[in-house]
């Protein structure tokens, strides 16, 4: 099975496909896009720092081998063509010939090999390139990734902010693990992407300007991108409304999203976050106390009314989540779920051996790691009271305090939000893999262990045929939904907001703003 | 001797804070992993080793104090930058905000206080009392958001956030006007609390002074009301207000945290807030150190000001 994608064939389809809607008007060049970051990025080098705050500037400063359209189809970017061998054990990237770094040096296969090495050594998502053993560089524009096993997740891992190509002659001057603290991660950045860094002022802004020698003809359209750092969501909302900000992404406060939806000049959309894949759930510790019994976990699911959370707490801004995979992912298989049923819940608790004594069946604790989800947690407490479960809400002083509790399994229930990060291998497996139990926050903190689930993940991880992979993940999702190490509640209602008559081609593909905005323009 | 005590005190504060930060579960490696969307133990251990966080507590403490004694505030784990550089970059914005707010509040507060003290039962007096009550009891972030809605959204005359507009270009005056426009709302928000304090205090002391013997003597001497109030009484009623203003310097810095957060003001307050959230110990301690310096300088200025208005203070050491 040889798959060769020719960029020429795709070039025409690309413009319409990537944006997800056809362009009625010609993009204009020039202008300064004023956009926003909700937190201060600690690092602009996306090869060593993950996270959506670094992703936005990172994907502008650094190009990746591939990019994705809104239908989850890989498109050429720094690699004009690519090829997966029949046995799935080698992936050949044919790089664009005229590509240059921001200092004018040509981008070669050496840089690709170096970048993979840096990402393997510093990036937190080990699963992305773990099977990559070596990167061969037969010539300056060919890089061959040699794998220890087939690794279909590699394609998504070569897009968005996940595989930033960084120059070896700049970042290769010390130990490979030192790159994460390299002084040029935040200033004098030499990147490969459509925009170069003008200024990063901590707490104030990141300013980028057009890289004139960018390898894609005529791109980017914008002359300048100003990313202001505004941490207060209410202040950001006012800035969208009065026109100070042209565009922003990852806005998730239901109250603010709904208010901005009513503003005529703004477009507010939840499209474009499929690969980020943020899901909120109720985590249940399967290794401690009453929750070791799956019937108790089910009873809790039946007692917690997701509909209430969707309507009252999320105010209709979030979509339902029924499995560990984001609903926008091609691997998503919708599960039946647990509609509110207090009688069933009580019956399950009786059956599990927790009868009502003095008005209470059991006492559990619930944790949360950030103040934004306090309402959900308080609701769970109130909801479980109806089936005579006493819940103590344990607030954590800050994130590390909560992270420690989760990482050491010191909890009964906790509200949590975890991102898919593209392929399930990268962001989904970590929650259910029995070899990843209690390895820090956002690992398998629920201590869930099921041999079949492990086996399904192992098989899906190396399965090249998309249809077979989908089937494996369907079975996986069904088991998870049945055994409930976590009760999936809703997707995080991330929204992209932009001035309708100013911004053309906003980034609403699959990666949110963790994608190059070389096709975004000002009307 | 005073300087020696100050240094000892400063060191004690640093040791205490270092220890307290250390007592809390978790560390900066956890917040780095949060900002990265999760990281396994291997990466976390590597980060801890890189920053020396895997060393025993006393070694870390000793190392830190040693560095401070050599005037090196260390390296921010979270921002990958020297702490001194990080703070110096932010300090001017906070000083600008705090000084403008403080001076305006002091000036207007005293004027309002004097006006209301002259006619304690007049309409102006009631107005000042109301204003003071409101300014003192309204939470800053609420005042801030309200001002934003009023003057950035409904009547769009002031910008929402930040200290300057990066998209404008021009000479010094263009940028000066730009910064002033950005400064107005944060200054009103921060100043309102202190305005309340100063107007109430100066009202009270002024009323006390106006009832004293020498004022009666001055009046008996045939001086005009205006001259009595502004030449004789005001100067004497100022000392408590100045003392309070000096004491408020520290409070102004802490008050600035909230105001800076609401207006995305790129100052020390925002940095302090973010570093605490991020458990970035060197940065937090560095900010404490600088705040202490600001307070010491503030106290010094207060002493000087007091000597200026009160001749009796001049003889004292």
Render pLDDT for A91-123 as a digit per residue (tens, 0 to 9): 999 999 999 999 999 999 999 999 999 999 989
For residues B142 and A389, what is the distance between their CA atoms, to the nearest angstrom? 38
Neighbours of A173 (CB within 10 A): 11
Closest residue on chain A to B258 (Cα)? A232
Give the pair of three-digit tokens for residue A142. 């060919």
Please report how many Cα atoms fall inside a 13 Å half-sphere around the Cα of residue A368, on the Cβ side. Answer: 19
At A249-262, the pLDDT tens digits run 999 999 999 999 99
Interface size, chain A vs chain B, as Cβ–Cβ contacts under 8 Å? 167
For chain A positions 150-189, those within 8 Å of chain B (CB to CB) are: 177, 181, 183, 185-186
Q: Are B241 and B176 in contact (CB under 8 A)?
A: no
Contact: A440, B167; criterion CB under 8 Å: no
| pLDDT higher than threshold 70 for residue A14 | no
CA distance A341 to chain B (A): 35
Position B192 scores a pLDDT of 85
Q: Mean pLDDT throughout A26-55? A: 92
CB atoms within 10 A of CB B84: 17
Q: Which of A51, A202, A238 sits opposite B160 (nearest CB)?
A: A238
Residue A298: pLDDT above 70?
Answer: yes
The percentage of chain A sitting over the pLDDT mark of 70, rounded to a whole number, equals 95
The CB-side HSE value for A440 (13 A sphere, CA atoms) comes to 20
For residue A13, pLDDT over 70 is answered with no
In chain A, which among 30-89 make CB contacts under 8 A with chain B? 32, 34, 39-40, 42-43, 49-54
Give the closest-approach CA distance of A358 to chain B in angstroms. 36
A442 touches chain B (CB under 8 A): yes
Of B25, B46, B274, the CB nearest to A40: B274
Q: Would you state the pLDDT for residue A446?
A: 96
Q: Do A124 and B36 touch (CB under 8 A)?
A: yes
B39-74 per-position pLDDT tens digit:
777 777 877 887 778 888 888 888 888 888 887 888
- C-beta separation of A137 from A113 below 8 A: yes
Determine, for residues A203 and B24 on separate chains, whether the beta-carbon distance falls below 8 Å.
no
Whether A400 sits inside 8 A of B40 (CB atoms) is no
Residue A159: both structure tokens together: 């897009």
What pLDDT score was predicted for residue A161?
Answer: 93
Contact A206, A197 (CB under 8 A): yes
Confidence of residue A4 (pLDDT cuts 50, 70, 90): very low
Q: Which of B160, B162, B182, B273 to mutate to test the interface with A (most CBs of A within 10 A)?
A: B160
Lowest mean pLDDT segment, chosen from A187-196, A394-403, A416-425: A394-403
Look at A75 and B290; give whichever has higher pLDDT: A75
Using an 8 Å CB-CB cutoff, list chain A residues near B74: none
Measured between alpha carbons, how far is B284 from B76 in angstroms, rounded to an integer?
9
Q: What are phi and psi of A43, to 5 degrees?
A: -160, 140
Mutation for B interface: A119, A181, A199, A235, most B CBs within 10 A: A235
Element at A71 (helix H, strand E): none
**Contact A124/B40, CB-based, under 8 Å?**
yes
Q: What average pLDDT score do residues B138-149 get?
A: 86
Beta carbons of A440 and B33 less than 8 Å apart: yes
Q: Which residues contact A450 (CB under 8 A, 6 or more apart)?
A: A432, A434, A479, A483
Pairwise CA distance, residues A239 & A256, whole Å: 12
Q: pLDDT value at position A347?
A: 96
Q: How does DSSP classify residue A492?
A: -
Å from A390 to nearest chain B CA? Answer: 27
Contact B30 A441 (CB under 8 A): yes
User: A140 or B153, which is more confident?
Assistant: A140
Distances in whole angstroms, Cα of residue A384 to Cα of each of A96, A280, A361, B132:
58, 18, 10, 47
For residue A206, give the chain B residue with the closest CA.
Answer: B166
Q: Pick the closest to residue A299 from A338, A356, A357 (CA basis).
A: A338
Instruction: Please state, in angstroms and rounded to a whole number, the distance separating the CA atoms of residues B42 and A146.
Output: 24
User: With contacts defined as CB-CB under 8 Å, which chain A residues touch B159?
Assistant: 244
Of B80, B86, B270, the CB nearest to A43: B80
Q: What is d(CA A199, CA A188) in angstroms, rounded to the nearest whole number? A: 9
Instruction: Note the pLDDT of residue A79.
Output: 96
Q: Please indicate whether, in this complex, the C-beta atoms of B160 and A202 are within 8 angstroms of each other.
A: no
What is the torsional sign of CA A14, A19, A21, A25?
A: negative
- Contact at CB, A244 and B160, closer than 8 angstroms: yes
The SS3 call for residue A198 is strand
Would you place residue B251 in the very low, low, confident or very high pLDDT band (cuts 50, 70, 90)? low
* Res. A429: pLDDT tops 90: yes
Q: Measure CA of the first residue to CA of the last residue in chain A; give whole Å.
A: 44
Q: Is the Cβ pair B166, A397 closer than 8 Å?
A: no
For range A13-17, the mean pLDDT: 44
pLDDT digit string (tens) for B17-36? 888 878 877 778 888 888 77
Which residues 201-260 of A have a C-beta within 8 angstroms of B?
A: 201-205, 207, 226, 228-232, 234-236, 238-239, 241-242, 244
Select from B267, B271, B279 the Cβ nearest to the Cβ of A400: B279
With beta carbons under 8 A apart, name residues in chain B contacting A241.
153
Q: Give pLDDT, residue B2.
A: 67
CB contact under 8 A, B271 and A439: no
Token duo for residue A302: 């039946």
User: Residue B315: its pLDDT value, please?
Assistant: 60
Contacts of A135 (CB under 8 A, 6+ apart): A109, A112, A113, A116, A117, A143, A144, A145, A146
Whether residue A179 has pLDDT greater than 70: yes
DSSP state of A515: S
Residues of chain B neighbouring A440 (CB-CB closer than 8 A): 33, 38-41, 44
Residue from A175, A203, A437, A441 to probe the interface with B (highest B Cβ count within 10 Å): A203
Residue B314's pLDDT is 67
- The chain B residue lying nearest A177, using CA atoms, is B46
By Cβ distance, the residue of B35, B159, B278 closest to A51 is B35
Work out the pLDDT band at A452, boundaries 50, 70, 90.
very high
Q: Is the pLDDT of residue A299 over 90?
A: yes
Greater pLDDT, A29 or A10: A29
Residue of B20, B23, B24, B34 for testing the chain A interface, max A β-carbons within 10 Å: B34
- Nearest-by-CA chain B residue for A53: B35
As a whole number, the mean pLDDT across chain A is: 92
Helix (H, G, I), strand (E, B), or coil: what is residue A434? helix
Q: Do B36 and A51 touch (CB under 8 A)?
A: yes
DSSP A232: -
**A327 contacts: CB under 8 Å, gap ≥ 6:** A319, A320, A321, A334, A491
Element holding A500 (H helix, E strand): none
In the block, tokens 């921002």 appear at B79
What is the pLDDT at residue A6? 41
Cα nearest neighbour of B262 on chain A:
A232
pLDDT tens sequence across B170-204: 788 888 888 889 999 999 988 888 888 888 888 88
A18: pLDDT strictly greater than 60: no
The upper half-sphere exposure of residue A90, i.e. CA atoms within 13 Å in the direction of its Cβ, equals 11
B34 contact residues in A (CB cutoff 8 A):
399, 403, 441
Distances from the Cα of A192 to the Cαs of A115, A338, B13, in angstroms?
12, 48, 46
What is d(CA A479, CA A450) in angstroms, rounded to the nearest whole number?
9
How do A32-37 and A224-229 pair as beta strands? parallel
**Which ipTM was obtained for this model?**
0.81
Cβ-nearest to B156 among A126, A242, A440: A242
Q: What is the mean pLDDT of chain B?
A: 82
Shortest Cα distance, chain B CAs vs residue A204, angstroms: 6
What the block records as the tokens of A313 is 């707490």
- pLDDT tens sequence across A149-169: 999 999 999 999 999 999 999
Distance from CA of A371 to the nearest CA of B (A): 12
Q: Are B78 and B275 in contact (CB under 8 A)?
A: yes
- Encoding tokens for residue A208? 């980028």
Of A131-135, A365-369, A475-479, B173-177, the poorest mean pLDDT is in B173-177
Give the predicted TM-score (pTM) of the model: 0.87
Chain A residues whose CB is inside 8 A of the B86 CB are 202
- Residues A266-290 have a mean pLDDT of 95
Tens-digit pLDDT profile for residues B268-286 = 888 888 888 888 888 888 8
Residues of A in contact with B267 (CB under 8 A): 203
- What angle is formed at CA A417 by the lines to CA A158 and CA A62, rounded to 5 degrees? 25
């Amino acid at each position: 099975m040889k798959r060769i994608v020719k960029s020429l064939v795709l070039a025409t389809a690309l413009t319409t496909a990537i944006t997800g809607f056809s362009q009625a008007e010609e993009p204009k060049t020039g202008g300064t896009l004023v956009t926003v970051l909700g937190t201060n990025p600690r690092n602009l080098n996306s090869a060593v720092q993950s996270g959506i705050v670094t992703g936005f500037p990172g994907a502008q400063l650094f190009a990746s081998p591939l990019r994705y359209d809104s239908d989850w189809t890989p498109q050429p970017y720094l690699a004009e063509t690519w090829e997966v061998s029949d046995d799935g054990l080698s992936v050949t990237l044919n790089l664009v010939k005229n590509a240059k770094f921001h200092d004018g040096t040509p981008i070669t296969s050496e840089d690709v090999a170096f970048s993979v090495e840096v990402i393997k050594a510093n990036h937190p998502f080990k699963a992305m390139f773990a099977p990559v053993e070596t990167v061969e560089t037969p010539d300056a524009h060919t890089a061959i990734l040699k794998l220890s096993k087939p690794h279909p997740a590699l394609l998504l891992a070569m897009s968005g902010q996940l595989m930033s190509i960084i120059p070896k002659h700049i970042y290769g001057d010390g130990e490979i693990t030192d790159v994460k603290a390299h002084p040029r991660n935040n200033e004098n950045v030499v990147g490969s992407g459509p925009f170069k860094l003008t200024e990063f002022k901590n707490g104030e802004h990141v300013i980028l300007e057009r890289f004139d020698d960018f390898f894609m003809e005529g791109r980017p359209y914008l002359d300048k991108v100003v990313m202001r750092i505004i941490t207060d969501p209410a202040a950001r909302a006012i800035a969208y409304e009065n026109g100070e900000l042209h565009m922003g992404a990852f806005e998730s406060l239901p109250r603010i999203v709904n208010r901005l939806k009513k503003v005529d000049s703004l477009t507010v959309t939840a499209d474009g976050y499929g690969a980020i894949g943020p899901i909120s759930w109720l985590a249940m510790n399967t290794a401690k106390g009453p929750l070791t019994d799956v019937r108790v976990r089910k009873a809790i699911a039946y007692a917690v009314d997701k509909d209430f959370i969707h309507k009252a707490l999320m105010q209709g801004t979030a979509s339902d989540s029924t499995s560990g995979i984001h609903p926008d992912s091609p691997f998503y298989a919708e599960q039946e779920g647990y509609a509110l049923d207090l009688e069933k819940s009580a019956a399950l608790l009786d059956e599990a051996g927790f009868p009502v004594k003095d008005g209470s069946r059991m006492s559990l604790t619930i944790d949360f790691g950030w103040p934004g989800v306090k309402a959900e947690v308080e609701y769970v407490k109130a909801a479980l009271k109806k089936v005579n479960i006493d819940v103590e809400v344990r607030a954590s002083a800050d994130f590390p305090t909560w992270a420690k509790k989760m990482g050491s399994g010191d909890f009964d229930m906790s509200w949590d939000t975890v991102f898919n990060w593209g392929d399930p291998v990268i962001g989904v497996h970590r929650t259910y893999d029995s070899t990843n139990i209690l390895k820090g926050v956002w690992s398998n903190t629920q201590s869930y262990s099921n041999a079949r689930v492990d086996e399904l993940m192992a098989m899906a991880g190396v399965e090249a045929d998309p249809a077979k992979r989908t089937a494996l993940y369907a079975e996986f999702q069904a088991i998870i939904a049945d055994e409930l190490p976590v009760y999936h509640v809703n997707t995080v209602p991330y929204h992209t907001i932009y001035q309708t008559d100013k911004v053309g081609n906003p980034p609403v593909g699959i990666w949110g703003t963790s994608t190059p905005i070389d096709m975004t323009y000002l009307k | 001797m005073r300087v020696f005590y100050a240094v000892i005190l400063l060191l004690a504060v640093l040791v205490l804070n270092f220890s307290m930060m250390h007592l809390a579960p978790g560390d900066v490696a956890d917040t780095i992993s949060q900002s990265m969307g999760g990281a396994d133990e291997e990466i976390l251990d590597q980060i801890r080793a890189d920053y020396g966080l895997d060393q025993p507590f006393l070694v870390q403490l000793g190392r830190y104090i040693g560095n401070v004694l050599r005037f090196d505030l260390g390296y921010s784990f979270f921002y990958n930058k020297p702490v001194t550089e990080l703070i110096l970059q932010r300090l001017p914005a906070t000083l600008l905000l705090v000084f403008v707010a403080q001076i305006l509040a002091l000036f207007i507060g005293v004027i309002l206080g004097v006006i209301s003290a002259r006619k304690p039962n007049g309409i102006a007096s009631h107005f000042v009392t109301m204003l003071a009550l409101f300014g003192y009891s309204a939470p800053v972030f609420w005042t801030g958001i309200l001002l934003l809605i009023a003057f950035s959204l409904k009547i769009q005359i002031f910008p929402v956030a930040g200290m300057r507009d990066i998209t404008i270009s021009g000479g010094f005056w263009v940028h000066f006007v730009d910064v002033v426009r950005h400064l107005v709302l944060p200054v009103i928000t921060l100043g309102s609390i202190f305005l309340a304090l100063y107007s109430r205090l100066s009202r009270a002391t002024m009323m006390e002074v106006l009832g004293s013997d020498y004022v009666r003597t001055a009046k008996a001497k045939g001086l005009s009301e205006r001259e009595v109030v502004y030449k004789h009484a005001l100067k004497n009623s100022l000392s408590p207000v100045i003392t309070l203003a000096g004491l408020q310097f520290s409070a102004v810095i802490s008050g600035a945290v909230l105001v800076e957060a609401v207006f995305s003001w790129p100052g020390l307050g925002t940095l302090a807030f973010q570093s605490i959230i991020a458990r970035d110990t060197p940065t937090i301690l560095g900010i404490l150190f600088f705040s202490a310096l600001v307070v010491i300088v503030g106290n010094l200025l207060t002493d000087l000001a007091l000597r200026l208005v009160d001749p009796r203070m001049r003889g004292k050491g």
